Amino acid sequence: MFRTDGLKKLIFLSLCLVFSLALSFLEGLIPLSGTLPGVKIGISNIVILAVIYIYSPKEGIALAFLKSVLLTLLSGNGSSFFYSLSGGLLSAAVMGLARSCKTLSPIGVSMLGGVSHILGQLTCAFFMLGSYTVFYYYPFLSAAAIISGFINGYLVKLLLERLERRV
């Protein structure tokens, strides 16, 4: 896509982190009544996926890590840290690997990221609660993750197409 020098890259990634945090906070304000507990749209992951495509999986994983840490510190919700971290890092890693598959568009990559995010969080819940029953939620949460992954991936696809036209 496009490469920049070190300072511009640092500024761009810093802005992406701030934007991702802002989207996370905004997402917390969206009421999703009638859904399963824990279902979110995952709009902040749009930024992470875009960074994976614009730069590399390494930057996307770093962004996911920093987002989890800063979100925990800024929200004061320490109990969500391990869930956020496990889901975010697994999702970013899977999206980074899937991005190298030429047959997958950002939509498919995002859908895989959404499903792996759920798997990471449920695995974390399993270790915290010591119960396999948390995995009973996986099919239901995965369905929601596939839908939101499709929407988020489509938005990233549009963003990348627009950026390519400008560069």
Q: How many domains does the chain have?
A: 1
Q: Would you say residue 1 lies in a domain?
A: no
Instruction: Check if the beta carbon of residue 111 is closer than 8 Å to that of residue 87.
Output: no
141 and 36 Cβ atoms separated by less than 8 Å: yes
- At position 161, the amino acid (one-letter code) is E
- The predicted pLDDT at position 36 comes to 67
**Residues spanned by the domain of 114:** 6-166
* pLDDT in the model for residue 122: 95
pLDDT at 83: 92
Query: What's the pLDDT score for residue 2?
Result: 54
- C-alpha distances (whole Å) from 151 to each of 29, 73, 131 are 19, 29, 32
CATH code for position 141? 1.10.1760.20
Name residues of the chain where pLDDT drops below 50. none
The whole-number pLDDT of residue 1 equals 52
Q: Beta-carbon neighbour count of residue 28 at 10 Å?
A: 12
The whole-number pLDDT of residue 164 equals 86
Examine residue 137 and state whether it is found in any structural domain, yes or no: yes
